[in-house]
């Protein structure tokens, strides 16, 4: 459409120029326009109009040619914008400024190009910040960009990546554990200051502790934990001293008082939005506040939204709670069959005698003046025999199918509504009339409840009513007499099981006699002197109900399991329990001995291990196997010593044979000594100790079935058999 308008405008302008232009400049511009060089024509006319401002024809031609050039460039700019070519838009803007710098379309395009340049700079800034691991700066730039242009797909995609990365980081941070959490440790303290216990734990497990200013570091601690994991020991200490902890990184812990106010100040929180599909947000809010003790809960009824802000531990509990209640309601299909059976029997037997007799002149038309000629007469015929039997049966069947929600009442009405007029007389007002309606027919109310085992419990209320009589009032209105039969019960049926409700009977029997008085009551003569009518009406209503479960509650996996939920004061906290049986190290872990920390010896250095040299190695080896024993110096001074072994069970292996079992360690140093089990030893319990004292390392030698002993290293006959153990 824009191109068509431009072509029409160009044709009109050329016609005007051809008819009204007489100056050479106008004719030259006209020639350029015919060749499609509208911008050159506009530039030429603009220069001529500037040089000769009094020439009206030149100025008119300039205005017309400027509109043509600007219109053509605007169409090209729109195409470049739709194609996403910002460089082409910049080039078109440059040409438009040269042709018509003061035109409103030029200013609009200038603003558009400037806005797009600014948005592109924001997008480049966001990409650079994202690549430089600065998601906050990237998000700020993207939010500004999307506020100006919400349709930028690249900006939305990058923002989604930032949010996914942040969610992943939050999840990792909320589940981070100490690097030495699974390291076994032994703690033995009696009435030791709290700071000494943490200092000893820091040195043994390699953990950094940062204490809040309100922590009472002089509190006394007594505990004896043997072969306990570091994280379990830390939880025990924190719990018994009413302290809280926050993990700053893999080996740094912030310790603070375990008060609610301090937890609000220190612990990080996360926010989660739950768009509920089936659950009521108000009930979900009550559940979260009651069980998880969350106070920051917001509900939006319009979106069925629940927003919760709490710690990551509590949020995991909230997620499981919401998962358990946001389940679709069960639904059931009710197949109903209602049958009303009516039977009517009428029997009439006997002679019908006239009920009246007359004495006078038959067919008299005038008055009677005398009693002559009078005689008795009766209706003709004198007697009428009646032998009549009537049988009737009526079946009214309704077979509706209703799909009902759990605990929602389903209603069925098969009948009609009868109007009932009511007249009310009020003082100073007068008489007013109103009308109401009553339901007559079959009414059925069913409220199903689907059980978890597939059964359906139903509350059934059945009412069958009919009009038995009508009464007309003086004002012409009618009043109805309604007969009704009702039944209500509660059923529990299996899926697909049919239950029959019957027995709503209405059985009436009547007997009447019409004939000659006195004689009609004689048992043997009653049929000769009268007519006996016997009537019997019998109706029965039968209801058949068949429930079919369409959808039942599908319990989530966490519904039937015990859900750890922390303590009353700290919902979502990790249970304070130690693993059963303690912790035993294995040779593959390379920790045959647990670091031991003992109480203060009175020197004020309770946090320093009582044994300056620490031994570590396997707990169990096989015959003929070589293994390593590590000796670590935990003091700030150089140490030296000798490794003591049972020479009948163990011998040096490899390079250690020449150098013996002596060692020298620098401050905080460590060395490894190689030992070997003698081939002849099949099963034994031995100890490896140090000449400096301390707790020895217990070692068990145990052979396996079918195991072959490692071949002994060749030795020279010149060497004495115990030369390596002369110490």
Tens of pLDDT, residue by residue over 278-322, are 999 999 999 999 988 888 999 999 999 999 998 888 888 898 899
What is the 3-state composition of the chain as percent helix, strand, coil, each rounded to the nearest 5?
A: 30, 35, 35
- The token pair that represents 706 in the structure block: 């079918």
Upper half-sphere CA count for residue 31 (Cβ side, 13 Å): 6
Low-confidence winner among 205-219, 226-240, 453-467, 503-517 (lowest mean pLDDT):
503-517
Higher-pLDDT residue of 450 and 726 is: 450
CB atoms within 10 A of CB 342: 15
39 — pLDDT class (breaks 50, 70, 90): low
Mean pLDDT of 473-478: 70
Higher-pLDDT residue of 219 and 34 is: 219
Mean pLDDT of 1-7: 46
pTM confidence score: 0.55
Q: What is the pLDDT of residues 163-210, one digit of tens each?
A: 888 777 777 766 777 888 888 888 888 888 888 888 888 888 888 999
394 — pLDDT class (breaks 50, 70, 90): low
CB 519 within 8 A of CB 530: yes
Mean pLDDT of 30-59: 67
- The token pair that represents 296 in the structure block: 């920051």
Mean pLDDT of 644-658: 70
CB 355 within 8 A of CB 340: no
Average pLDDT score over the chain: 75
Pairwise CA distance, residues 191 & 216, whole Å: 14
CB atoms within 10 A of CB 454: 13
pLDDT of residue 648: 83
How large is the greatest C-alpha to C-alpha distance in the chain, in angstroms?
A: 186
Residue 579 CA: distances (Å) to CA of 85, 220, 227, 270, 662: 66, 26, 10, 30, 39
Low-confidence winner among 45-49, 242-246, 654-658, 693-697 (lowest mean pLDDT):
654-658
pLDDT of residue 591: 36
- The token pair that represents 31 in the structure block: 């020639």
pLDDT of residue 260: 84
Mean pLDDT of 322-333: 90
pLDDT of residue 654: 53
User: DSSP secondary structure string, 181-193?
Assistant: TT-EEEEEEEEEE
276 — pLDDT class (breaks 50, 70, 90): very high
Q: What is the pLDDT of residues 570-606, one digit of tens each?
A: 777 777 677 654 444 433 333 334 455 554 444 333 4
Q: What is the pLDDT of residues 123-172, one digit of tens each?
A: 888 888 888 888 888 888 888 888 877 877 888 888 888 888 877 777 77
Looking at the chain, the whole-number percentage of residues with pLDDT higher than 90 is: 8
723 — pLDDT class (breaks 50, 70, 90): very low
pLDDT of residue 249: 85
Most confident of 229-233, 295-299, 373-377: 295-299
Mean pLDDT of 233-247: 88
pLDDT of residue 217: 82
Low-confidence winner among 400-404, 675-679, 710-714 (lowest mean pLDDT):
710-714
Model confidence at 637: pLDDT above 60: yes
CB 549 within 8 A of CB 450: yes
pLDDT of residue 712: 38
pLDDT of residue 368: 55
423 — pLDDT class (breaks 50, 70, 90): confident
Model confidence at 268: pLDDT above 50: yes
- The token pair that represents 595 in the structure block: 């670091």
Mean pLDDT of 487-502: 88
Q: Going along 86-211, which residue ranges are E strands?
A: 184-193, 208-211
Mean pLDDT of 362-389: 59
pLDDT of residue 308: 94
Distance of CA 712 to the CA centre of its chain: 67
Q: Checking DSSP bridges between strand 296-300 and strand 357-360, what pairing results, if any?
A: unpaired
CB-count exposure of residue 402 (10 Å: 0-12, 13-18, 19+): middle
pLDDT of residue 526: 67
Pairwise CA distance, residues 290 & 165, whole Å: 32
Higher-pLDDT residue of 212 and 430 is: 212
362 — pLDDT class (breaks 50, 70, 90): low
């Amino acid at each position: 459409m824009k191109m068509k308008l431009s072509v029409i405008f160009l044709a009109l302008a050329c016609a005007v120029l051809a008819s009204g232009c007489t100056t050479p400049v106008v004719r030259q511009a006209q020639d350029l326009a015919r060749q499609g060089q509208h911008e050159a024509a506009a530039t030429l006319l603009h220069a001529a109009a500037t040089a000769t401002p009094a020439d009206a024809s030149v100025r008119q031609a300039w205005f017309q040619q400027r509109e043509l050039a600007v219109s053509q460039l605007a169409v090209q700019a729109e195409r470049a914008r739709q194609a996403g070519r910002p460089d082409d838009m910049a080039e078109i803007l440059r040409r438009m400024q040269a042709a018509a710098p003061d035109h409103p379309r030029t200013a609009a395009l200038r603003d558009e190009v400037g806005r797009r340049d600014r948005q592109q700079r924001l997008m480049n800034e966001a990409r650079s910040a994202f690549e430089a691991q600065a998601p906050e700066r990237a998000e700020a730039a993207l939010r500004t960009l999307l506020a100006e242009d919400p349709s930028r797909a690249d900006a939305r995609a990058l923002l989604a990546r930032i949010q996914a990365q942040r969610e992943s980081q939050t999840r990792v941070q909320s589940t981070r554990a100490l690097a030495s959490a699974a390291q076994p440790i032994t703690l033995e303290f009696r009435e030791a200051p709290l700071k000494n216990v943490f200092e000893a734990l820091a040195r043994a497990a390699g953990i950094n502790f940062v204490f809040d200013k309100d922590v009472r570091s002089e509190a006394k601690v007594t505990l004896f934990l043997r072969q306990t994991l570091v994280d379990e020991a830390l939880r025990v200490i924190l719990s018994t001293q009413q302290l809280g902890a926050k993990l700053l990184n893999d080996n740094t812990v912030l310790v603070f008082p375990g008060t609610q106010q301090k937890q609000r100040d220190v612990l990080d929180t996360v926010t989660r939005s739950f768009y509920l599909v089936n659950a009521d947000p108000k009930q979900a809010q009550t559940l979260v506040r009651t069980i998880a003790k969350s106070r920051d809960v917001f509900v939006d009824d319009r979106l069925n939204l629940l927003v919760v802000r709490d710690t990551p531990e509590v949020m995991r509990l909230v997620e499981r709670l919401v998962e358990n209640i946001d389940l679709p309601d069960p639904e059931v299909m009710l197949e109903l069959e209602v049958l009303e059976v009516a039977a009517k029997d009428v029997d009439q037997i006997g002679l019908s005698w006239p009920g009246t007799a007359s004495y006078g002149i038959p067919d008299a038309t005038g008055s009677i003046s005398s009693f002559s000629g009078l005689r008795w007469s009766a209706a003709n015929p004198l007697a009428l025999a009646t032998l009549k039997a009537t049988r009737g049966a009526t079946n009214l069947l309704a077979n509706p199918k209703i799909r009902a929600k759990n605990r929602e009442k389903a209603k069925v009405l098969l009948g009609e509504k009868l109007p009932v007029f009511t007249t009310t007389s009020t003082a100073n007002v007068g008489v007013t009339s109103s009308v109401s309606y009553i339901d007559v027919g079959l009414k059925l109310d069913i409220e199903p409840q689907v059980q978890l085992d597939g059964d359906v419990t139903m509350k059934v209320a059945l009412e069958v009513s009919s009009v038995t009589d009508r009464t007309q009032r003086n004002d012409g209105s009618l009043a109805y007499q309604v007969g009704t039969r009702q039944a209500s019960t509660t059923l529990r049926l299996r899926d697909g099981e049919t239950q029959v409700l019957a027995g709503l009977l209405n059985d009436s029997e009547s007997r009447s006699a019409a004939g000659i008085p006195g004689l009609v009551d004689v048992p043997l003569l009653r049929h000769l002197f009268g007519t006996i009518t016997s009537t019997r009406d019998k109706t029965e209503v039968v209801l058949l109900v068949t429930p079919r479960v369409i959808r039942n509650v599908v319990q989530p996996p966490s519904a039937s399991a015990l859900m750890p939920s922390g303590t009353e004061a700290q919902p979502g906290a990790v249970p304070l329990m130690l693993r059963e049986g303690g912790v035993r190290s294995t040779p593959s872990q390379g920790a045959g001995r647990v670091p031991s920390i003992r109480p203060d010896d009175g020197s004020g250095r309770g946090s320093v291990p009582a044994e300056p040299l620490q031994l570590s190695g396997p707990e169990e080896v096989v015959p003929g196997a070589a293994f390593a024993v590590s000796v670590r110096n935990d003091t700030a001074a150089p140490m030296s010593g000798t490794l003591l072994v049972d020479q009948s069970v163990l011998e040096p292996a490899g390079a250690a044979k020449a150098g013996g079992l002596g060692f020298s360690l620098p401050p905080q140093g460590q060395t490894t000594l190689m030992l070997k089990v003698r081939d002849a030893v099949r099963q034994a319990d031995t100890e490896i100790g140090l000449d400096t004292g301390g707790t020895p390392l217990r070692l068990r030698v145990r052979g396996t079935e079918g195991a072959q002993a490692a071949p002994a290293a060749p030795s020279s006959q010149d060497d004495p058999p115990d030369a390596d153990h002369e110490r």
